[in-house]
């Protein structure tokens, strides 16, 4: 049945992963991805979702989504450039530009698609991209797609960025040079050094590209990392996702009008993949409205993040250098980290382990992402589980 070559390939590679215990088994949720989730009939405190503000289950967003679905249908019916651009897509783009303090914005079907489209629309084989070594997979793939020379620099190491920028510039080999970074790094919760990056970019005439998937809704009173540093007019590409703090799905680039006009004719996922569903577009508009009206959810997220951090620290865990509510609990050894996460699950907490190759060897961690929707009681239950498992496994005293 089917290709023998394929069968052999799968047997060898899948078999290898499974035998080494590295095959990722996906646990389906029996209901919404809220602060409490249900898996295999068991309720768990959820510390693994990017639904930072709890908007994925917000009543206003749900009602807006239903209303838009009734009005426009479940699908947009075409790609944006044929006749899949609905008035609510345009409204969403206008709202995002205002939210990000830029002239214009363009919406994609996901943050991943956004990076696949935006980088290659501007960079080509005559160019170079200076890329933080811990940048997200979608940035790496987007850079590869552009065929530009990719020059990684050490994570948030500004001397290394300066060195690579100088070498690239002085080599005279490249037409354009771009520096590209996550705004907030999701494995450690640290924030990119944007003021220094902008200074280096100005010295070496670099195009600046910030993927703020984890900073929007979280930093800058909700407006993101670029706003947090007051650099809205200094960053060429502000990338965001609509799937994390915004709680829905989709991605966007915010920037100058001529850049966005160019992306609308050159970014391939925009040109060749059907637009965001009407329900999603409408829900995103509502989410931005909520975020710009009030900082209540943003403030609650930080309160919960700080509460969890303080609790884990006083239990004696190593919580790294996070500057945001993302809180890693660094265990170290890969097997021990996986066991720790499994034991937390038995104690009613869903917090995924992250190990090599996603993070460097020996820095395995259980990553916690509290949200504005968690109650103190939920967080106390999680901390009690951490205390019990930590002591049982000899990680804390
Ligand atoms: N960029 C970064 C930095 C991310 O962390 C993610 C999501 N994991 C993405 C892009 C992709 O976003 P989306 O889930 O909207 O495709």
Domains and CATH numbers, the chain: 21-50+295-393 (3.90.1150.10), 59-293 (3.40.640.10)
What is the structure's pLDDT at 356? Answer: 85
Please give the distance of CA 21 from its chain centroid, rounded to a whole number: 26
How far apart are the C-alpha atoms of 275 and 306, rounded to whole Å? 38
State which H helix or E strand residue 124 sits in. none
The DSSP bridge pattern shows strands 251-255 and 104-108 to be: antiparallel
pLDDT at 107: 98
- Backbone φ/ψ region at 151: left (φ over 0), alpha (ψ -120 to 50), beta: beta
Which two structure tokens, joined as six digits, stand for 185?
Answer: 């790094």
Q: Which atom of ligand 1 is nearest to the CA of 212?
A: 3
List active site positions.
186, 214, 244
Distance (Å) of CA 139 to CA 4, 80, 118, 301: 35, 23, 10, 27
Rounded Cα–Cα distance for residues 33 and 54 (Å): 9
Nearest to 216 by CA among 46, 47, 99, 59: 99
C-alpha 298/C-alpha 49 separation (Å) is 16
Question: Which of 237, 368, 236, 287 has its CA nearest to residue 68?
Answer: 287
Phi, psi at 37, each rounded to 5°: -120, 160
Q: Where are the alpha helices (DSSP H) in the chain?
A: 4-19, 59-72, 87-100, 111-122, 137-146, 158-171, 194-204, 225-228, 257-266, 268-272, 278-293, 296-315, 334-346, 376-392
Report the separation in Å between the CA atom of 115 and the middle of ligand 1, taken as the mean of its atom positions: 9
- Are the C-beta atoms of 251 and 276 separated by less than 8 Å? no
Residue-wise pLDDT for 118-150, tens only, equals: 999 999 999 999 999 999 999 999 999 999 999
Which numbered atom of ligand 1 lies nearest the CA of 112? 16
Q: Ligand 1 test: best mutation among 136, 140, 219, most atoms within 8 Å of CB?
A: 136
Q: Which residues line ligand 1 (CB under 6 A)?
A: 110-112, 136, 138, 182, 186, 211, 213-214, 241, 243, 251
> In a mutational test of the pocket of ligand 1, which residue from 52, 241, 253, 284 has the highest number of ligand atoms less than 8 Å from its CB?
241
| Residue to probe by mutation, ligand 1, list 48, 49, 50, 112, most atoms within 8 Å of CB | 112
Residue 82 confidence (pLDDT): 95
Residues 69, 198: Cα–Cα separation, whole Å: 42
Binned average pLDDT, 10 residues per bin, the chain of 397 residues: 93 89 87 97 97 97 98 97 97 98 98 98 98 96 98 98 98 98 96 98 98 97 96 97 98 98 98 97 98 96 98 96 96 94 97 89 94 98 98 95
The pLDDT, as a whole number, for residue 21 is 76
Using left for φ > 0, alpha for ψ between -120 and 50, and beta otherwise, residue 181 falls in: beta
Task: Look at residue 358 in the predicted model and tell me its pLDDT.
Answer: 85
Say which residues have a Cβ less than 8 Å from residue 311's Cβ, sequence separation at least 6. Answer: 379, 380, 383, 386
Distance 388 CA to ligand 1 centre (A): 33
What distance in angstroms lies between residue 305's CA and the mean position of ligand 1's atoms?
Answer: 21
> Would you call 3 helix, strand, or coil by DSSP?
coil
Going from the Cα of 50 to the center of ligand 1, the distance in angstroms, rounded, reads 10
pTM over 0.90: yes
Closest CA to 254 of 218, 288, 278, 290: 288
Q: Give the pLDDT of residue 101.
A: 95
Q: Please report the pLDDT score of residue 106 as a whole number.
A: 98
State yes or no: ipTM above 0.95: yes
Tokens of 390: 């930590």
- Count how many Cα atoms sit within 13 Å of the Cα of residue 175 in the half-sphere of its side chain: 7
Half-sphere exposure of 333 (CA within 13 A, CB side): 6
Q: What is the pLDDT of residue 60?
A: 98
Q: For residue 91, report the distance from its CA to the centre of ligand 1, in Å.
A: 23
For residue range 201-258, list pLDDT tens digits in order.
Answer: 999 999 999 999 999 999 999 999 999 999 999 999 999 999 999 999 999 999 999 9
The phi and psi torsions of 353 (rounded to 5 degrees) equal -85, 145
């Amino acid at each position: 049945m089917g290709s023998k070559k394929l069968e052999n390939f799968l047997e060898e590679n899948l078999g290898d992963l499974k035998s080494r215990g590295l095959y990722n088994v996906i646990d389906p949720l029996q209901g919404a991805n809220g602060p409490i989730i249900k898996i295999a009939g068991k309720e768990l405190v959820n510390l693994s979702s990017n639904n930072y503000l709890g908007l994925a289950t917000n009543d206003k967003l749900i009602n807006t989504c239903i209303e838009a679905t009734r009005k426009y249908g479940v699908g947009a019916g075409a790609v944006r450039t044929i006749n899949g651009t609905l008035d609510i897509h345009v409204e969403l783009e206008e709202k995002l530009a205002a939210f990000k303090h830029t002239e214009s914005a363009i919406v994609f079907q996901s943050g991943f698609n956004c990076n696949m489209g935006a980088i290659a629309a501007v960079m080509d084989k005559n160019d170079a991209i200076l890329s933080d070594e811990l940048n997200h997979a979608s940035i790496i793939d987007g850079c590869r797609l552009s065929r530009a020379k990719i020059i990684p620099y050490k994570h948030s190491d500004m001397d290394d960025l300066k060195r690579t920028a100088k070498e690239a510039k002085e080599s005279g080999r490249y037409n354009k040079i771009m520096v590209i970074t996550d705004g907030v790094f999701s494995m450690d919760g640290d924030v990119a050094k944007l003021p220094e990056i902008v200074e280096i970019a100005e010295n070496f005439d670099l195009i600046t590209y910030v993927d703020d998937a984890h900073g929007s809704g979280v930093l800058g009173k909700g407006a993101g990392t670029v706003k947090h540093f007051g650099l809205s007019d200094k960053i060429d590409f502000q990338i965001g996702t609509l799937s994390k703090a915004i709680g829905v799905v989709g991605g966007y680039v915010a920037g100058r009008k001529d850049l966005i006009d160019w992306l609308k004719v050159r970014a391939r996922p925009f040109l060749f993949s059907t637009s965001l569903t009407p329900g999603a577009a409408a829900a995103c508009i509502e989410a931005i409205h909520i975020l710009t009206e009030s900082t209540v959810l943003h403030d609650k997220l930080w309160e919960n993040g700080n509460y969890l951090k303080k609790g884990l620290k006083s239990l004696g865990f190593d919580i790294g250098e996070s500057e945001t509510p993302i809180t890693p609990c660094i265990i170290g050894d890969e097997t021990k980290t996986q066991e720790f996460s499994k034991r937390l699950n038995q104690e009613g907490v869903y917090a995924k382990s992250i190990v090599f190759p996603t993070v460097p060897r020996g820095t395995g961690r259980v990553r916690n992402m509290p949200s504005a929707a968690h109650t103190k009681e939920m967080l106390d239950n999680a901390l009690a589980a951490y205390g019990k498992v930590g002591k049982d496994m000899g990680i804390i005293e």
